[in-house]
Structure 1
Amino acid sequence: MDLGIDRQALVPVVQQIVSAVAHWIRKEGVSPGTRLPSIRQLALDNLLSQSSVIEAFERLVAQGLLATRHGSGFVVAQPAVTHERHWYEGAEQGWGSFTDSPIGELKLGCGWLPDDWRESDDISYAIREISRTDTGALFNYSTPLGLPVLREQLLKRLTQIHVTTSLDCILTTHGASHAQDLLIRTLLKAGDEVVVETPGYGNLYRQLAFQGVTLLEVPRASGGPDLPALEGLLQTHRPKCLFINSLYHNPTGTSLCRTVAQRLLELARERDFLIIEEDVYGDLQHASCTRLSALDHDDRVIYVSSFSKTLSSALRVGYLCASATLIEQLAHLKTLTGLGTSRFAEAMVATLLSNGTYRKWVQRLRKHLSAQMAATLQVLEDEEWQVFAVPAGGMFLWARPGIPDPLRLQACARRLGVLLSPGALFSPTAERSDWLRINVAYAADQRALALFRAMGPTRSTSTILKTTGM
């Protein structure tokens, strides 16, 4: 079996083995019970170490694609009963999740980092450290505002990015979505109007709609919300809030420019609305940037952030900064609805912040993402894809084939085993669009590269699939 290992790729060899075997099982329709070549033979044929093949096979067992059989080694597992999947998640229902996607598929448009990028040793160290030093209260409830030692670390971090606040103005949450939920339920009621960016974060749209809030759409431009469109809306509407993703916007990858930021604050004062600024990708910044929370805003800006995107989606640790009066209201609702946040998770993040591990990890992550961003942009340019804007950092690109062809894209993505995030997922009305969110951390995978090339203007899907061995 030729696994087609590319030793120059940024994707680790073990993950390439996992992807190649999963693709072979899916493409060939291999029957359950089929025996795989021996580990020794597979390693020999592909010039691999046996330990790499063993680790890859163990991952495939954990994913349910392979099983072990006494005396037969590894065999193709009996598939679990699932509903039919589409070439992307959620379009039929309007919204989707990649968390329950078919095993072995490439989640090219997902919103998190690949498992192989995570540095589990640092997290393991933090677990051991807090287990040794905080055993007496480790599994108790945290305080209403959050673990004091974490909030002290957050205050230091906010000071470094020029966000002026104090300990009693910081509240920890179960991630950024929890922070937004608390704000929506505290500040808004059914029938209220808010301004949202489009394209934008789908989960925010759903949270607002669930509360019966009316969404006023403003297009996202390269430097932030489209100001003429916003000013036009404000002539006839009186929104309570504006929700904005300032840095490395999801899904376009763009960042707020200073002139737009200053005008937004002027409008907030003139029209009397609050601004909820989400900054979950802000730690990925490379150079100077503009945050509304770092400017003079008279308590009109509420800052929301999280460690779920940079550390782990399983570590549900987020936080927000607002006026002391609002924080008191939010803390009451937080306690009423959830009895507080996880002391264990917050102690882990506090440890990683205090010992410098998180800072060093983010520095390495920025370099890795920067290289992936440059490489992906080059491939898309070569294949004549259209890119909405060239981001200064972060993990997202908003792009579409130079000659949009939804049917061809659908066929190619299905054949290659690629899950996409189409534009409909980032529209408040689920409006169909040719644009796709691309997570550059996954774009070096051979399946992603084959998709980009297949959608070039001078190539056919069948030609690309043949030349890439897919």
Structure 2
Amino acid sequence: MKIKLDPMKPAPLKEQLVHQVEDMIRSRQLPVGARLPSIRQLSAANRVSRFPVMEAYDDLVSRGLIEPRHGSGFYVTHSASAQDHGQRGADPGVARAESGQILRQFNAPASASPLSSGFIPAAWRDVENIAQCVRQVSRTDVASLVDYAAPQGDMVLREQIARRLACLAIDVPSQQILITHSASHALDLVTRMMLRPGDTVFVEDPGYFNLFGLLRLQGIQLVGVPRRQSGPDVDAMQALLAVHRPKLFFVNTVFQNPTATNIAPQVAFRILQLAHQHDFSVVEDDVYADLQPVPTQRLAALDQLDRVIYIGGFSKTLSSSLRLGYIAAHTDLVRDLVDVKTLTSMGGTRFSESVVATLLERGVYRRHMEKLRHRVNDALMRAVEQLRRSGWEIYEEPCGGMFVFARVPHIDDSTRLVEHATGFGISIAPGTHYRPDKQMSPWLRFNAAYMSDGQAQAFLESAVALA
């Protein structure tokens, strides 16, 4: 079995491997029962990371072309045919492969330091005031303990969100806001409503790995647009538009995950120009908006929800248990999204919606965010200084938020650092997870809130010695 993977080719390594193996099965060069090289053998023979090989094998397993046998390896199960491609819905094998990184956050030992976590520490949450509002809602809105929320969401909460969006110069009435179970749920609803298997979307590279998994689960083709300090590389985007016809472009505006950069006004304007010229919509994921003390330009403010679908949420800043997100979009789309939400989850969680509405009405959330911003910014400055002092390179100077994207100079594959971190009791995700094509990456995402302990410092200093 001769397979050649070339990192210099434009096609991702995973796709190169999938296509070559599939062609061999289709042409019967690999008959049913044939054993494939192990992941370690194939990665070593081609001098590439094991991750694209793992992803390719997962893809082939999900298509039913090969199967894993415990302790033995991977074997061809049957010949490729037309019925193997594009004829079915979401595959559980794909879901299993894509959910791994998220599950690892929950399954990591309690003693492990979660350096790449996407969460704010529990000690930084306003638990006391949340508890007070929970007690108040339990007394004054007893029905919320047992009833569904209205499918579009609590009216008071939607009005509060509309007031908050007005501070970002997004003029939207409450009728154009839909409450969701989370920002991730909002992305899922948009994907279900606006995309079909085989459609192409643009995403940021690097970007949000959970979004990438969600899109792949639905059979969507991802095309990565490089993310720079001022936002997506619009020149690269224009070149990609000469080849691809995306239905949507998913983009983080503020404190982008994982680079913590912001979109500059001129870049935002150019993205909207390209959206009009090439007839695609923009999904603006602004889940970190409330961590920004002075608002910068939003795509939705420039566009006023013509082609932009705006998504926000409270899980990152308020409570991951009171999981709530929202979508702001033009009237017809919100009406359609309400139908999809009703069919897939009936209504929302009335209790959570009532509690969050109360926190907003009473000004508790505003006061909490004022304190949290100072705390996060202080941690971020210390983390950047800590990384630089230890000899790490910063991807771009963070504008704020929780994250720092950094690398050890001269180490091209961050999986080496991930494996090294386990010896220090540290759980961290490799940079390949933040790339839509899962290609090798030297970068790691750090959550500044978790970098003050001795484990983190010892890891940072020792990692540089590996170069």
TM-score, with normalisation over the residues of structure 2? 0.76
* 1:172/1:317 contact within 8 Å kept: yes
Aligned to 1:423: 431
Aligned to 1:447: 455
Cα separation, 2, equivalents of 1:286 and 1:298? 23
* 1:179/1:304 contact within 8 Å kept: yes
Aligned to 1:162: 169
Matched, 1:118 2:132: no
Aligned to 1:283: 290
1:143 aligned to which of 124, 138, 150? 150
Cα separation, 2, equivalents of 1:378 and 1:302? 36
Deviation at 1:434? 1.4
Aligned to 1:18: none
Q: Could you report, residue by residue, the CA deviation over 1:239-260 in whole angstroms, capped at 9, with x for unpaired residues?
A: 1110001100001111111010
Deviation at 1:410? 4.4
* 2:159/2:173 contact within 8 Å kept: no
Q: Which stretch shifts more, 287-296 or 242-251?
A: 287-296
Deviation at 1:298? 5.8
Matched, 1:258 2:265: yes
Deviation at 1:439? 0.2
SS of 1:197 mapped into structure 2: strand
Deviation at 1:139? 2.2
* 2:125/2:317 contact within 8 Å kept: no
Deviation at 1:137? 4.4
* 1:244/1:277 contact within 8 Å kept: yes
Quickly say closer, same or farther: Cα 1:325–1:411, change in 2 above 3 A: closer
Deviation at 1:125? 0.5
1:351 aligned to which of 358, 363, 367? 358
Aligned to 2:101: 96
* 2:144/2:354 contact within 8 Å kept: no
The correspondence of residues 63-82 of structure 1 with structure 2, limited to 5 A, is none
Cα separation, 1, equivalents of 2:198 and 2:423? 45
Quickly say closer, same or farther: Cα 1:382–1:177, change in 2 above 3 A: same
Aligned to 1:109: 116
* 2:223/2:436 contact within 8 Å kept: no
The correspondence of residues 4-43 of structure 1 with structure 2, limited to 5 A, is none
* 1:286/1:393 contact within 8 Å kept: no
Partner letter of residue 440 of structure 1? A
SS of 2:106 mapped into structure 1: coil
The correspondence of residues 161-180 of structure 1 with structure 2, limited to 5 A, is 161-180=168-187
Structure 1: state its 5+ residue gaps.
Answer: 1-91, 462-470
Partner letter of residue 431 of structure 1? Q
Q: Which stretch shifts more, 209-218 or 316-325?
A: 209-218
The correspondence of residues 127-276 of structure 1 with structure 2, limited to 5 A, is 127-276=134-283
Q: Could you report, residue by residue, the CA deviation over 1:297-316 in whole angstroms, capped at 9, with x for unpaired residues?
A: 56100000110100122221
Calculate the aligned-residue CA RMSD, in Å: 1.8
Report how many aligned residue pairs link the two structures.
Answer: 368
Cα separation, 2, equivalents of 1:100 and 1:266? 44
* 2:151/2:347 contact within 8 Å kept: yes
Deviation at 1:408? 6.2
Deviation at 1:197? 0.5
Cα separation, 2, equivalents of 1:317 and 1:258? 29
* 1:265/1:297 contact within 8 Å kept: no
Q: Which runs of 4+ in 1 moved over 6 A?
A: none
* 2:305/2:330 contact within 8 Å kept: no
Aligned to 1:27: none
Deviation at 1:155? 1.0
Quickly say closer, same or farther: Cα 1:195–1:407, change in 2 above 3 A: closer
Quickly say closer, same or farther: Cα 1:432–1:230, change in 2 above 3 A: same
* 1:108/1:443 contact within 8 Å kept: yes
* 1:234/1:271 contact within 8 Å kept: yes
* 1:170/1:321 contact within 8 Å kept: yes
Cα separation, 2, equivalents of 1:99 and 1:121? 25
Cα separation, 1, equivalents of 2:416 and 2:438? 21
TM-score, with normalisation over the residues of structure 1? 0.76
Quickly say closer, same or farther: Cα 1:195–1:163, change in 2 above 3 A: same
Deviation at 1:217? 1.1
Deviation at 1:432? 2.2
Cα separation, 1, equivalents of 2:334 and 2:175? 8
Quickly say closer, same or farther: Cα 1:448–1:332, change in 2 above 3 A: same
Matched, 1:437 2:445: yes
SS of 1:242 mapped into structure 2: strand
Quickly say closer, same or farther: Cα 1:141–1:174, change in 2 above 3 A: same
Structure 2: state its 5+ residue gaps.
Answer: 1-95
Cα separation, 2, equivalents of 1:161 and 1:218? 26
* 2:199/2:247 contact within 8 Å kept: yes
Aligned to 2:56: none
Query: Identity over the aligned pairs, expressed in percent?
Result: 41
SS of 2:283 mapped into structure 1: strand
Partner letter of residue 275 of structure 1? V
Cα separation, 2, equivalents of 1:298 and 1:131? 36
Partner letter of residue 113 of structure 2? L
Deviation at 1:184? 0.7
Cα separation, 2, equivalents of 1:138 and 1:410? 43
Cα separation, 1, equivalents of 2:254 and 2:435? 19
Partner letter of residue 170 of structure 1? I
Partner letter of residue 444 of structure 1? S
Quickly say closer, same or farther: Cα 1:108–1:408, change in 2 above 3 A: same
Cα separation, 2, equivalents of 1:186 and 1:456? 46
Aligned to 2:392: 385
Quickly say closer, same or farther: Cα 1:323–1:407, change in 2 above 3 A: closer
